[in-house]
Structure 1
Amino acid sequence: MKSLFKNTLAIITFSLVTTSIAFAEEMTAQTTVEALNNTWNKAFNNSDASSLASLYAENAVLSPGNGKVLTGRAEIQNLFKSFFEAGLKNHKLEIVTVDGDDKTLYQVAKWSASGPEKDGVTATYSGITTSVFKKDANGKWIARTHIWNAGN
């Protein structure tokens, strides 16, 4: 009977420890992606295309939902520069789901931004975005792939 009790206690303890570790990893992924999103939004809302591009890998791939694929920081920087010239601002990200490990993170998020006023009405845009982040050689998280669509 003592052996059964000890085995049961060991199984319960193991389950609690592994569940706690998994929960901690999930919270770390969530916290890390929230910080990455805050940095991204800050650069976007400051109309800083150079800082935005630096958040991507040198060979990052981005698809802005128009069927085109951009590769590399220079193309990504030019895309964001064109957005700022068009008056886009007030970018926000709301995480739908996030997961990953110590080398790779991904998120699906809702995004929104506003554009210039036309006839007294501020244009609003929104959609869904997916990002995959990897650690670079220095241990910094950078976007490796990024794709979004526009829902309106």
Structure 2
Amino acid sequence: MSNIKQQISEINQKFDHAFNTKDSVSIGALYDTNAVVMPAPAGDPVIGASAIQSFFQGLIDAGVIEHQLTLLDAVEDGNLAFQRGKWAGAMLNAQGEKQTFGGNVHLVYRKQADGSWKAVTHIWN
């Protein structure tokens, strides 16, 4: 696995762990200050790390569980990188039955001054 694929896989693991332990603060820390999340289906863009943290807290509060990002490909070009992958999650319905869902995901990252990567755009369907 290339270095950028390894780095983005580690970011995905951090995201999933934070989501699944209901830690939206750690999710928000994975995004650049002016990042944009564009939720499906055609939801309004969520702009800024603080708003993104609140957005994901809303999903957690709504009962989304078992979030999982799966990296399919990652490419680095200078100070930008992108990942193409899959996402999955679940919720329990009123009868307590698990309903799963998922789709495609695309994220663009910007290299930070310390060499780490933070998401600048995140879109899924």
Corresponding residue number in structure 2 for 1:91: 67
Choose between structure 1 and 2 for higher RCO, CA contacts under 8 A separated by at least 6 residues. Answer: 2
2:5 is equivalent to residue 33 of structure 1: no
Task: Output one character per residue of 1:88-139: Cα deviation in whole Å (capped at 9) or x when no partner.
Answer: 1111111122111352211111100111233242121201110011112222
Cα distance in 1 for partners of 2:49, 2:5 equals 25
Question: 1:60 — aligned with what?
Answer: 35
**3-state SS of 2:59 partner:** helix
**Identity %, equivalent residues:** 31
Q: Does 1:128 align with 2:104?
A: yes
The answer for unaligned runs of 5 or more in structure 2 is: none
Report the counterpart of residue 17 of structure 1 in structure 2. none
Give the secondary-structure state (helix, strand or coil) at the position aligned to 1:82: helix
More helix by share: 1
Give the TM-score normalised by structure 2.
0.91
Q: Which AA in structure 1 matches 2:22?
A: S
Q: Identify the residue that residue 137 of structure 1 maps to in structure 2.
A: 113
Aligned length: 124
Give 5+ residue unaligned stretches, structure 1. Answer: 1-25
Q: Deviations over 1:37-73 (max 9, x none)?
A: 1111111111111110110000001101132111101
Q: After TM superposition, which residue ranges in structure 1, 4 or more long, deviate above 6 angstroms?
A: none
Once structures 1 and 2 are overlaid, which stretch shifts more, 117-126 or 28-37? 117-126
Q: Does the 8 A contact of 1:47 with 1:89 survive in 2? A: no
- Structure 1 length-normalised TM: 0.76
Max Rg structure: 1
Residue aligning to 1:20: none
Name the counterpart of 1:105. Answer: 81
